[in-house]
Structure 1
């Protein structure tokens, strides 16, 4: 089986992971020093947020050199040591690459401002249209010579023009640079926003959105896939929002390997089963598995959105589903939104507070560790079936193990014998907002499956 299909991944938001030199900013040596936390957790892959040279107008997603390391975070030698250390611990590293835009301080854009041929690598117009930035306000900024340039995010992040061959060629080099250094794959930022309407049509005048999820992205994705497939078992994971059917279309042969299932991350509590069922069915039609997302550096903390009890229950359900599962740094600790202000243009600072290394809470961490260990032993590769539908109950089985979630307000019964649970059980009943994994069959078979195998 391809390693990434049912891997457990972990997103390291580097600035907030661990600070090794006391400057208040997490860095690569800090990550290296606490790589054991991820190994003990049991993750298979670690996606690291951008560590490239950047003025930091958008937490490193405004990049001046896509194939170097910002001294703020360390050096290329630190990257090489990290790759080697992760490999020794049985983990793979995923690089965060940003193809939609550069920093306004990138040499290309500075040359473009001077009227050089590099201007064709961006979107310059004599007049702006009505497109809006994801951070609010117009998506166009005027330059001293009267032209306007496009930025779907901050003015410090001018969008690249992917119809220009220089852009595509340069991104090929970026992919190969990090893959050659030993990265097992890439997480691709804004993977669905690269193609723009050739006439920059208004948003409301087109059946197809003029700059999101356009059909022209297919050729771009296929080019990336060709680069990834020239290496041994590497993965391209797209940051894309959309319905399960549209996600399934993006992971067909020759396109991306995986796309994050953000609809699961934001699903209302009462619609968890519907959301999961639609994803599993749609991806199954193309021979793929979902890429589940529990949290994200762009979303409010899962514990703040659902409450800790529900967040733990949802995590246990997520780890039981077929497909890969991604943890956002700190969710395994039950971290909530924090009152911090780092100047993020998207107002997301509260979701990105530093890890509390001096006071790691034991209960959520133990629940995560045990779930990941049991998942690998008993669930990966096992067939999936929904159990008979009951009101306020989400239930399915993977081989001999069942997963049951009580989404209602009253305790419910569950089949089998408990193997792991997100919170205390009440005798032989499952309380509200709690999930349980059980072993189906006789009590003897349950004991033989779980005896002496539960991790501490």
Structure 2
């Protein structure tokens, strides 16, 4: 993994929603130069403390971006190649890395290669087609969505296609890739593909979307740098909402094990899940979730809008992602005034992480644990912080520290020698005095 990744905090944005693009596109859709709207948010990202932009799909598609119809063309609802180049240049000028979202498990039903396959062309070998009993052609898809046509990853031509696309956009200035639905692709497929990509771009960062399974094994066999840490995501909001720190403590032990093999991509929100502010349904507890994200080992990402305490509930229905993928105002000046407290909270905790870059590979150790109280140490080598989390509504929590010499760096607490008192519903991060 490239050294620059050790310092990255991603700001993850879903471009089609962010710019208010129409729901659908086709071959006749005129180019609309909306991607430039993101340029007007880059200073806001820098001031937040992030130094990377993780983009959702930007390539030509029919609807939500994950039904790609041309991997080498920018979606006309967003703009064109010149708009992409301008965004990358503007990001790099501010020290922001750019991560792209690659959909390589499947393509959209309207992809020209698939249309040629249905017409009987040699492109049929790229897909898992079959003839049904009534003589019609059918195909494998992505999780029952028949407009998302699965590629045949056993075919070397598919590996060529993916390697060429990844290299093309890294040549264009991107710094890495998120591999969508990587859990649905055999890990062995990725190893030779990524070897080819890294031959041209050895510093590229590659993270796979893996929701469940053996994370370390996927990383080892695929050659990816990392995978998405959904276990920790679930444990963070689950522990807070149920007043059960045992769930988080168990997951942090698992997280330590992952760090033996790779550094997970960590988050408390993304474009596929209910927003953290809605998940907790209590703004007073947002800090408890965020402090975990930014004090444990990992490469953290903040989903655009979470830093303003945006709300949105994902629903399992057509259009069920709309609430978590809203349009943003043209510039940050258009944001409502009632979310800036969350932005400042993010600034403070991202700043803490910046001052302690060793947190990227930090392991945690539970010091004290009850349902509502958690004190853990996060460390790497000789560097240490203590994190105290109190979920009790009205009761202060007095905790014994493992040794003297600590000071409160962030949060709310009082110290008396080795005795720490954290007010109800509060948290604190301690460092060496």
Q: What TM-score comes out, normalization by structure 2 length?
A: 0.83
| Counterpart among 281, 285, 288 of residue 310 in structure 1 | 285
Measure the CA separation in 2 of the matches of 1:102 and 1:55: 10
Preserved contact between residue 20 and residue 29 of structure 1 (Cα < 8 Å) = no
The Cα of 1:26 is off from its aligned counterpart by 9.5
Alignment of 1:19-38 (within 5 A): 27-38=34-45
Task: Say if 1:426 and 1:375 are closer, same or farther in 2 by CA, change over 3 A.
Answer: same
Alignment of 1:208-219 (within 5 A): 217-219=186-188
Which residue does the alignment assign to 1:353? Answer: 326
Deviation track 1:207-258 (CA, whole Å, cap 9, x = no partner) reads xxxxxxxxxx232121232134221311110001225xx1112223861101
Measure the CA separation in 1 of the matches of 2:123 and 2:300: 40
Measure the CA separation in 1 of the matches of 2:101 and 2:364: 34
Measure the CA separation in 2 of the matches of 1:83 and 1:240: 27
Unaligned 5+ runs, structure 1: 129-141, 195-216, 446-456
The Cα of 1:412 is off from its aligned counterpart by 1.4
Matched residue of 1:252: which SS? helix
The Cα of 1:436 is off from its aligned counterpart by 1.4
Which residue does the alignment assign to 2:28? Answer: none
The alignment of Structure 1 onto Structure 2 pairs a total of residues equal to 392
Matched residue of 2:227: which SS? strand
| Counterpart among 59, 75, 85 of residue 52 in structure 1 | 59
- Are 1:402 and 2:402 an aligned pair? no
- Are 1:413 and 2:398 an aligned pair? yes
Matched residue of 2:74: which SS? coil
Matched residue of 1:325: which SS? strand
Measure the CA separation in 1 of the matches of 2:362 and 2:104: 37
Which residue does the alignment assign to 1:436? Answer: 428
Deviation track 1:23-54 (CA, whole Å, cap 9, x = no partner) reads 9x993101111111111111122111111111
Task: Say if 1:158 and 1:20 are closer, same or farther in 2 by CA, change over 3 A.
Answer: closer
Which residue does the alignment assign to 1:76? Answer: 81
- Are 1:235 and 2:220 an aligned pair? no
- Are 1:294 and 2:272 an aligned pair? no
- Are 1:258 and 2:265 an aligned pair? no
The Cα of 1:312 is off from its aligned counterpart by 2.4
Which residue does the alignment assign to 1:137? Answer: none
Preserved contact between residue 6 and residue 323 of structure 1 (Cα < 8 Å) = no
Q: What TM-score comes out, normalization by structure 1 length?
A: 0.79
Matched residue of 1:11: which SS? strand
Measure the CA separation in 2 of the matches of 1:232 and 1:40: 29
Preserved contact between residue 289 and residue 323 of structure 1 (Cα < 8 Å) = yes
Deviation track 1:170-218 (CA, whole Å, cap 9, x = no partner) reads 1111001111011110000011212xxxxxxxxxxxxxxxxxxxxxx23
Task: Say if 1:371 and 1:26 are closer, same or farther in 2 by CA, change over 3 A.
Answer: farther
Deviates more, 1:177-186 or 1:378-387: 378-387
The Cα of 1:368 is off from its aligned counterpart by 0.3
Matched residue of 2:61: which SS? coil
Q: Relative to total residues, which structure has the larger helix share, 1 or 2?
A: 2
Which residue does the alignment assign to 1:220? Answer: 189
Which residue does the alignment assign to 1:335? Answer: 310
Measure the CA separation in 2 of the matches of 1:386 and 1:338: 33
Deviation track 1:382-404 (CA, whole Å, cap 9, x = no partner) reads 85452523323142134243222
Which residue does the alignment assign to 2:158? Answer: 167
Which residue does the alignment assign to 1:209? Answer: none
Measure the CA separation in 1 of the matches of 2:33 and 2:255: 35
Which residue does the alignment assign to 1:133? Answer: none
Unaligned 5+ runs, structure 2: 25-31
Preserved contact between residue 20 and residue 26 of structure 1 (Cα < 8 Å) = no
- Are 1:96 and 2:101 an aligned pair? yes
Q: Relative to total residues, which structure has the larger strand share, 1 or 2?
A: 2
Measure the CA separation in 1 of the matches of 2:353 and 2:160: 41
